[in-house]
Chain A
Amino acid sequence: MEALELTSVEKENNNEMTETKKFNIKNTSKELLGRWYHLMTLGRALDEKAPNYLKQAIGWSYHAPYAGHDGIQLAIGQVFDKETDHLFPYYRDMLTSISAGLTAEEVIYNGISKDTDVAGGGRHMSNHFAKPEWNIHNVSSCTGNHTLHAVGVGRAMKKYKHEGVVFSSQGESSVSEGYVYEAINGATNEQLPVVFVFQDNGYGISVPKKDQTANRKVADNFRGLKYLKIIHCNGKDVFDSMNAMLEAKEYAMANSIPVIVQANCVRMGSHSNSDRHELYRDNAELNYVKEYDPLAKYRRMLVRYKRFTEEELQAIEAEVKLEVKKAHKAGLTAPDPDPASIYDFVLPEAYVSEKYPEGLHDYTGNEKKLIEGLNETLKAEFRHNPDTYIWGQDIANKDKGGIFNVSKGMQQEFGKERVFNAPIAEDFIMGTANGMSRFNDKIRIVVEGAEFADYFWPAMEQFVDTTHDYWRSKGQFSPNITVRLASGGYIGGGLYHSQNIEGALTTLPGVRIVYPSYADDAAGLIRTSMRSKGMTVFMEPKALYNDPKAAAPVPDDFEVPFGKARVRREGADLTVITYGNTTHMCVEVADKLAEETGKQVEVIDLRSLIPLDKETVLKSVEKTNKVLVVHEDKVFSGFGAEISAMITEEAFEKLDAPVKRVGSTFTPVGFNRILERAILPNNDKIYAAAKDLLDY
């Protein structure tokens, strides 16, 4: 291969003298140089002190030292403006956070997980610095996951014509994660003012970057993307980093396009306190990374160019020593979190329905299909709240409105700014919803999480992270998102088009899950979801969209509160607890049994799985003394297992028979209709189980 000369742009980046850079050792004000030295010395003092807290069993059991990243971290914090910008630091960004304004006390409170920790009161891991109040976001440990949130905030900035920029900071190895590509691709496609900073220290824990990707500078992997600027800088050098970050910010804002800043750093220490870098780095390397020490270099330059005397620097160092001492004392006397507070901030308060407190109505107008109930309520809510948005795959293209046309006509009425397609990237759909709702808490987002519920799995890392957010930030950030998923079988769809996933999702605290069976409940629940804070998964039984069985009169303003089950058929001989597609089967079976045996089966349609209406369930059990739980998802580890266990635990004395369950077999759902019928529950299977119980 013929070797290449650098392009003119690269030469410019490599040659410090082609233009006078804004910051250099000679022209930067003494006041600013001194402030930087103070911040850098303070950061390093805390970084070096952190392991002592672990040795003394006080805390900071996760610590990722930043030494060697000093230049770029100082620069990120310095160019960040808390009044206009958003910052997503990663777990090594201690100096970034200090430079952005966090105090020594705030760093120590986070390090030793105190209740006063501004990131989230000690709920998240140590060394995960944040201050949501200043838009310094509390992010996941899942590396690079916040790139999608940054893109979401960038989208909001563009839509609301906000003058600002989003900074997303991460290590170079996290760029190996597929969702980082989704984020950068999306930011370029939508042309958003997001600056992605790759702090390149050459390692992902012990994995050298040659084992991550072929280019040594991973930013170069993105050279083919349109609407993207890439800047390389020396992250160990204060001035080069300051100039690069300033250029990145100005460029992103002026052109509304994303910028990648790749900052060459070294990792002077191990990855974290649980890593021993001497196991994989030789002495020569350990020596040269010390030689690179950015703080020592900066100090030498301050003296060499006579900007500060040795005595002046020593005075700053003495100040920092006192500052750390004072912060240490404050840290040790700060209150710990209260164990009784663990249930606080799992989910934010839901919208309260004054007109329909039980989610019931006696409206007798024309019946609407389930799909009509959804479509009309979505539109009504979009008219009601101008800060509503919906996106997903296939969501809007001329007359197409969603894979099943649930959002038909919305783009025509509300425009492309609020109703728009997403790329075929479920994690991007979910992650940018999380991000966009960080911009302000008026925003309400609806996403079609995937074309079909069974395609939602690629979004799981974002979904799981979103379930953590409200709790992890101690109520400071609530992702206000409704995730719509077309769910279930009976359409001959096979794997990826006919399965249920709610059994798996209900294991995660931090999300509401609803699953209506009728048009009126679908309308009422989507309205409540869109008016509430927090995340709600809205399962749509796609087999019922157009089924006359699911049609119902729907009051225009109907609301169904979360956690309110609906008794679809009253009875005293057996309680059947169900939701979704199987509700209709259970009602039919109950009618048949009444006709054949005279016995009356009570059918409870849960509507909400989380929160669960235990009161209605237990009240019915007390009356009937027999329970059958029916759902379409698998019996094994399905949500029915939780209901069954709850009844056994809380109403054992009321039972005259074992709690039985009907659901899918513990297999995937087959494509051939013969297989599908063998796998999914149906009237016959429910009838047999109900009859057994009635005869017990």
Chain B
Amino acid sequence: MKKIGLFYSFNTNKTAKNAEKIKKAFNDSAEVENVNVEEIDEETFLSYDNMVLGVPTWFDGELPNYWDEFMPAIEDLKLKGKTVALFGLGDQVGYPENFVDAIGILARALEERGAKVIGLTSTEGFTFERSAALRDNKFLGLPLDIENQAALTDDRIKDWVEQLKTEFN
């Protein structure tokens, strides 16, 4: 498996902790490099063919600033040949109308530039009303709800990474 770039904001607490868990779950099956989204440029982003992106949903369904500010750069990138998997924190009780929207916003933007999005997951076990991250009743990544389902997080990460191992090149 090619080297994986694990992109998230190093200034976060919860997302960073879960990124570390993801990295750990890959064991030695792949080389995983942590990358701070807050400092990336186009070149860094393009230097990985396999990427895992940490994208929590802010407020009523928004990208965090650090991803949002990178979006204009993404618009001009050609991402054919890139494989990306997204995970993101969300709160299905507090924000049921926009549960993990940010996963969907970023995933679709990357797809439009030619990237392949992998790591789709089932909605089973989640209760919410609407989500921009849904396609054909599947999430375009891995939602993590540590506000309401913290006890399920470790197993969800473990299962997801096992899935990624089979889906990444």
Contact = CB atoms under 8 A, between A and B. Distances in A.
B67 to A, nearest CB: 11
A292 interface: yes
Q: What are the 9 A-B residue pairs with the smallest beta carbon separation, nearest first?
A: A5-B134, A4-B130, A25-B72, A14-B132, A6-B132, A17-B112, A17-B109, A15-B108, A14-B105
Contacts of A3: 99, 123, 126-131, 134, 137
B98 interface: yes
15 contacts: A4-B134, A6-B130, A6-B131, A15-B112, A18-B112, A24-B72, A25-B72, A26-B75, A216-B60, A216-B95, A216-B98, A217-B60, A234-B62, A292-B59, A297-B65
A301 B69 contact: yes
B49 interface: no
Interface in B30-78: 58-62, 65, 68-69, 71-76
A323 interface: no
Interface residues of chain B: helix, strand, loop or mixed (majority): mixed
A215 B60 contact: no
Instruction: Output the residue of B76, B95, B97 with the most chain A CB within 10 A.
Output: B97
Given A3-B99, A291-B65, A300-B69, 12 more contacts: A1-B129, A4-B130, A4-B134, A5-B135, A6-B104, A14-B101, A24-B72, A26-B75, A216-B95, A234-B62, A292-B65, A297-B65
Contacts of A266: 59
B109 A16 contact: yes
Contacts of A1: 129
Contacts of A297: 65, 68-69
A15 B130 contact: no
Q: Which of the four size classes fits the interface of chain B? A: 35 or more
Interface in A302-341: 304-305
Contact of B104 (A14, A25, A216, A220): A14
Contacts of A305: 72-73
Interface string B79-117: 000000000000000010111010011001100110000
Nearest to B11: A291
A591 to B, nearest CB: 74
B72 A26 contact: yes
Given A4-B130, A5-B130, A216 B69 contact: no
Contacts of A547: none
A493 B113 CA distance: 72
Nearest to B75: A17
A217 B130 CA distance: 13
Interface in A218-273: 220, 234, 237, 264, 266
Contacts of B74: 17
A10 B69 contact: no
B80 to A, nearest CB: 15
A11 B108 contact: yes
Interface in A256-298: 264, 266, 288, 291-292, 297
Interface of B: 58-62, 65, 68-69, 71-76, 95, 97-99, 101, 104-105, 108-109, 112-113, 123, 126-132, 134-135, 137
B57 to A, nearest CB: 11
Nearest to A215: B97
Nearest to A25: B72
A217 B131 CA distance: 14
Contact of B62 (A4, A5, A18, A264): A264
A305 B99 CA distance: 31
B109 A216 contact: no
A14 B61 contact: yes
A217 B60 CA distance: 8
Contacts of B65: 291-292, 297
Contact of A16 (B59, B60, B71, B130): B71
Contacts of A300: 69
Q: Choose among B69, B76, B105 the residue with the greatest number of A CB atoms under 10 Å from its CB.
A: B69
A304 B131 CA distance: 31
Contacts of B58: 288, 292
Contacts of A234: 62, 68
A406 B43 CA distance: 78
A237 B112 CA distance: 22
Nearest to B72: A25
A490 B107 CA distance: 73
Given A14-B105, A17-B75, A266-B59, A4 B69 contact: no
A3 B130 CA distance: 5
Contacts of A16: 71, 75, 109
A498 B23 CA distance: 79
Given A15-B105, A216-B97, A217-B97, A304 B69 contact: yes
Residue among B59, B75, B97, B98 facing the most chain A CB atoms (10 A cut-off) = B59
A508 B99 CA distance: 51
Contacts of B135: 5
Interface string A194-217: 000000100000000000000111
In this complex, the member of B65, B74, B99 whose beta carbon has the largest number of chain A beta carbons within 10 angstroms is B65
Contacts of A14: 61, 101, 104-105, 108, 132
A24 B72 CA distance: 8
Contacts of B104: 6, 14
A10 B68 contact: no
Contacts of B126: 3
A6 B140 CA distance: 13
A25 B73 CA distance: 10
Contacts of A237: 68
A216 to B, nearest CB: 5
A5 to B, nearest CB: 4
Contacts of B101: 14
A303 to B, nearest CB: 11
B61 to A, nearest CB: 7
A26 B62 CA distance: 21
A17 B58 CA distance: 19
A33 B104 CA distance: 29
Contact of B60 (A17, A25, A264): A264
A237 B65 CA distance: 9
Interface in A87-110: none
Contacts of B76: 26
Contacts of A5: 130-131, 134-135, 137
A10 to B, nearest CB: 7
A297 B60 CA distance: 18
B131 A15 contact: no
B34 to A, nearest CB: 21
Interface in A388-442: none
A18 B132 CA distance: 14
Interface string A8-31: 001100111110000011100000
A200 B62 CA distance: 14
B109 A15 contact: yes
Contacts of B108: 11, 14-15, 17
B15 to A, nearest CB: 13
